[in-house]
Amino acid sequence: MNNTQEDLLSIFQAGLNAVAGKKVVKQELAAGNYKKYSHFVAIGKAAEAMLSGVPNDEICSALLISKHAHISEQFYRNDRITCIESDHPIPKSASLKAGEILLNYLENLPKSEPVLFLISGGASALVEFLEEGWDLVKLQELTDYLLSNAYSIDEMNAVRRRLSKIKGGGLWRYIGDRPVTCLMISDVPDDDPAVIGSGLLFPSKGGSLPALPKKWSEKLADYKYITVPNNFNWKIVACLDQAKKAAKTHAETLGYQVEIISEFLNKDAEVTAKGCVDILKKNKNILMIWGGETTVKLPKNAKKGGRNQHLALAAAIAMDGLKDTYLLSAGTDGSDGFTSATGAIVNGETVDKGLQEQINAKDYLRYADSNSYFMQIGGLIETGSTGTNVMDLVLGISV
């Protein structure tokens, strides 16, 4: 790995560090803007990290719900914390069980004692309590359809609000009359709290149901608005913009000229990759920083990959033969699709490396098999769970 690739990885890590769940929650609570809380509900892929930001001696009770293998042994050993590992990105039986446990926890708390919620991305799949007429099989089939057909997060949440008793602010039905504060790590465009985790505590401001096959649309009831109590406080403590700015600051300390691109990346990963490479060609010696969450419409019999690895491989094809041109695309949560990688880093020699091993990058892209390609020629980024989730970062430069 050369110096430029090492720098890109270092810049990516700086972005992660700025939005780390433990750090941002600890800083927020230390600022003294909140009353002392004794009960905590942490839900999401960054739930453990966010709860780690709460001083242990202040926890009277806590419920921690996160993705499988995202909860450390030390939390299981704490008898004041109930730990639940659940399913993501497709909800399964553990997701429904987590929903039951969440409602039971809330209903058994002393009526007047306040609760601090710590919410991060992934909550939509990790915890669920379904409306009548829905079961796990139907929920899984619909979720798989939405993911495979590149529905946006806004469209998916418009669906989830209509089949869930707890999304779209529905959780207020079970909280009772108690003070509630919510701190969030945003993994959605425009940092809309009604979209983070499908808005467990936030009623939707509107939004129509996206186009769906009739077998799904006819089963979805109209969304019923929930009134939020006046004693509810909330704040977003980490977001994509913070990660981009921290990445820029670190890159400048390394001597790079940097430009943050404000455009939110939310289109097809292959189209986005070509657009990014075009910008790099026209802006020599400037490190470009993008952010967002692209989509991939999967082919039949799709193989092993994720949107960031797919984008990186498409970029490698677009920059084939371009000397000293580099691009990194990676998820800030440490995962990308059903793989152990969170993204990949490529350059103008990535395609040629494959040809030397008698493999063709275009074939792997066609079958959404980017992970297999990078497993053979290198370039995967593996961080493990990062303790945050503010969507994806894309870094690129042509020198």
Q: How far separated are the first and last CA of the chain, in Å rounded?
A: 16
Count other Cβ atoms within 10 Å, centred on residue 14.
Answer: 18
**Which residues are CB-neighbours of 18 under 8 A, at least 6 positions away?**
238, 242, 243, 245, 246, 247
Model pLDDT, residue 220: 85
**CATH number, position 9:** 3.40.1480.10
Residue 48 scores a pLDDT above 70:
yes
Two structure tokens written together for 96: 């429904």
Last residue of a domain, one of 189, 219, 238: 238
Model pLDDT, residue 1: 66
Model pLDDT, residue 291: 98
pLDDT tens by residue, 326-371 = 999 999 999 999 899 999 999 999 999 999 999 999 999 999 999 9
Last residue of a domain, one of 200, 218, 238: 238
Model pLDDT, residue 375: 98
Model pLDDT, residue 174: 93
pLDDT band at residue 143 using 50, 70 and 90 as cut-offs: confident
pLDDT band at residue 71 using 50, 70 and 90 as cut-offs: very high
The H or E element spanning position 344 is strand 343-347
Same domain for 189 and 43: yes
pLDDT tens by residue, 370-399 = 999 999 999 999 999 999 999 999 999 999
Same domain for 198 and 96: yes
Q: Beta 380-381 vs 343-347: how paired, if at all? A: antiparallel
Same domain for 298 and 365: yes
Q: What is the dihedral sign for C-alpha 119, 19, 189, 295?
A: negative
Phi, psi (degrees; rounded to nearest 5) at 250:
-70, -40
CA separation for the pair 385, 333 (Å, rounded): 6
Same domain for 149 and 188: yes
Same domain for 82 and 98: yes
* Burial of 138: CB neighbours in 10 Å, binned 0-12, 13-18, 19+: middle
Same domain for 138 and 58: yes
Domain residues for the domain of 364 are: 3-15+241-398
SS3 41: strand
For 11-20, 106-115, 280-289, which range has the lowest pLDDT when averaged over its residues? 106-115
Last residue of a domain, one of 220, 238, 256: 238
| Structural domains of the chain, count | 2
Inter-residue contact 251 to 258 (CB < 8 Å): yes
CA separation for the pair 313, 119 (Å, rounded): 32
Residues linked to residue 238 through DSSP beta bridges, in sequence order: 185
**CATH number, position 146:** 3.40.50.10180
C-alpha pair distances (Å), 351 with each of 8, 159, 225, 308, 314: 19, 40, 51, 17, 10
Same domain for 227 and 101: yes
CA separation for the pair 210, 364 (Å, rounded): 31
Same domain for 196 and 168: yes
Pick the most confident of 154-163, 171-180, 324-333: 324-333
Same domain for 314 and 298: yes
Same domain for 252 and 191: no
Supply the mean pLDDT for the chain.
94
Same domain for 173 and 100: yes
32 CB-side CA count, 13 A:
0
57 CB-side CA count, 13 A:
0
Percent over 90 (pLDDT), the chain: 77
Residues linked to residue 291 through DSSP beta bridges, in sequence order: 264, 393
Residue 175 scores a pLDDT above 90:
yes
pLDDT tens by residue, 191-244 = 999 989 889 999 987 667 889 998 888 888 777 778 898 889 999 999 999 999
Model pLDDT, residue 207: 64
**Which residues are CB-neighbours of 115 under 8 A, at least 6 positions away?**
37, 39, 40, 41, 106, 109, 175, 178, 179, 180, 181
Same domain for 162 and 24: yes
Model pLDDT, residue 33: 81
